[in-house]
Amino acid sequence: MEIEHSETLGLGKEYVGQVLKNTFFKLNPRQMVRNPVMMVVEIGTVVTLWFTFQAGNSATRNYDLLVTGILFITLLFATFAEAYAEARGRAQADSLRKMKSNTRAKVITSGRLYEWKDSSLLAKGDRVLVEAGDTIPGDGVVLEGVGSVDESAITGESAPVIKAHGDSVTGGTLLQSDEFVVEITVNPGESFLDRMIQLVEGAKRLKTPNEIALSALLGVLTLIFVLVVVTLYPTARYYGPHATNVTTLVALLVCLIPTTIGALLSAIGIAGMSRVAKVSVIAKSGRAVEAAGDIDTIILDKTGTITVGNRMATEFLPVPGVKLTDLATASLLSSLADSTPEGRSIVELAQKTLQLNNLPFADGDPVPFSAHTRMSGIDLADGRQIRKGAVDAILKLVRNHQGELQKFAEDVARQGATPLAVSVDHRALGVIGLHDVVKSGLKKRFKEFRLIGHSDGHGDWR
């Protein structure tokens, strides 16, 4: 989802006003008291402002006004940094809300009749019709039908999952084939996406142990410097009435206390969680972000993290007696109408194998993938029926080379790939190997991790 960005703040224009408003709202002493360091600066600003109006001559008034202005800018810097960091977190939560509200559901009224409704209005017990290509509008259970669901948005696993009667489904996932009826099992505000939003919004409220310890240290240092500066005033007055003044002592106090750290302390924690969220990582608390700095071992989920996330065709394995070109041709014809990433990769591999510059015309009727048959293909005009699909489904269809087909499938599976069998007129041709391809540059990144002392849980990528 794209958010229109402001040239000044890097946020959506709708958030700029909120940031500026919260910048001044956080000057409220009830808000500022949570940050002892900046509370001292605010009190000092009020004191110097009072002396500005009480000044007896223009030179003293201008000096007091200058100090007051500098202190006020320091306060605005602190409140703006925190307001901006909080706005980044809200922007991420709002993006998830828009994703949720943009999903439309076909709520069944009677029989096969349905009405359109926003997914945010779905209630527990509603029955919705989900057809091929639809996004599942909410968490629920399949009541009727069977279909192939792409759950990569939730789990990162590229391989589609077959869902049938009694299986649970998650809102935001995509139905790739067939259709089914889903009964919604959660009320508004209780779905998986809602819990994600709550996690993003609630993360910034928790302080880390180091942040708590640092806040205590800053408070103690501030108290010490306040006592030091307060004792300077009577000492200076002892040597003469004009040895110093309150405005100068306030400026000295602000210079002594750790103002910058105190101003940015809360913003740093929020910004840390916002930063990791930009790379699709949700931190449950600032403590989790802080602990990440001590990580020396990284264990990664392979699919979608180390790999591209979509299975890609990498090899054709014909059974004995079948030419490689025959298997590639059959695979190409059966995949021309397949719009999935796997189908497109089969077409590309077949083009490369057959050395074709242009795609051939397939005169026939495409057979879309079905979760019932677990196959797809094409019925050609000359009477041939080409099918590709799950190995066990093709084994029930063919009458020859069943042993070889099973062996090829096992060999491909042992390599961590997914085998896809191909047949023509109940005759087995071979197997297509679908691998989850490693992302470009990942080997270099793992090497960099090891150079800084990290180890990973996937030695296969060395």
The per-residue pLDDT for range 153-205, each reduced to its tens digit, is 666 666 678 888 888 898 888 888 888 899 999 888 777 777 777 766 655 45
Rg of the chain taking only CA atoms, in angstroms: 33
Q: Which residue from 385, 390, 392 is spatially nearest to 423, judged by alpha carbons?
A: 385
Query: Has residue 460 got a pLDDT over 50?
Result: no
Torsion-angle region of residue 358: left (phi > 0), alpha (psi -120 to 50) or beta?
Answer: beta
Confirm whether 104-197 and 304-438 share one CATH topology.
no
Range picked from 164-168, 210-214, 262-266, 392-396 for highest mean pLDDT = 392-396
pTM above 0.85, yes or no: no
pLDDT-derived band at 360 (thresholds 50, 70, 90) equals confident
Show which residues are catalytic. Answer: 301
| In the chain, where the domains are located | 13-98+199-294, 104-197, 304-438
pLDDT of residue 297: 74
Q: How far is the first Cα of the chain from the last one, in angstroms, to the nearest whole number?
A: 35
The residues with which 196 forms a beta bridge, in sequence order, are: none
Question: Considering the domain 304-438 in this protein, what is its CATH number?
Answer: 3.40.1110.10
Q: Which of 54-58, 89-93, 136-140, 398-402 has the lowest mean pLDDT?
A: 89-93
**Average pLDDT of the residues of the chain:** 80
* pLDDT tier, 8 (very low <50, low <70, confident <90, very high otherwise): very low
The architecture that CATH gives domain 104-197 is Distorted Sandwich (2.70)
Cα–Cα distance measured from residue 11 to residue 19, given in angstroms and rounded to the nearest whole number: 10
Q: Mean pLDDT throughout 340-345?
A: 84
Question: Nearest to residue 120, comparing CAs of 24, 45, 184, 210?
Answer: 184
pLDDT in tens, 69-81: 999 998 998 888 7
Amino acid 431: pLDDT: 92
Q: Given this model, what pLDDT does residue 270 score?
A: 65
Q: Is the pLDDT assigned to residue 123 strictly greater than 80?
A: yes
- Confidence tier at 50 by pLDDT (50, 70, 90): very high
In the predicted structure, residue 68 carries a pLDDT above the cut 90:
yes
Q: What percent of the chain has pLDDT over 70?
A: 79
**Band of pLDDT at residue 121, cut at 50, 70 and 90:** confident
**DSSP assignment, residue 98?**
H
Q: If you average pLDDT over residues 370-394, what whole number do you get? A: 89
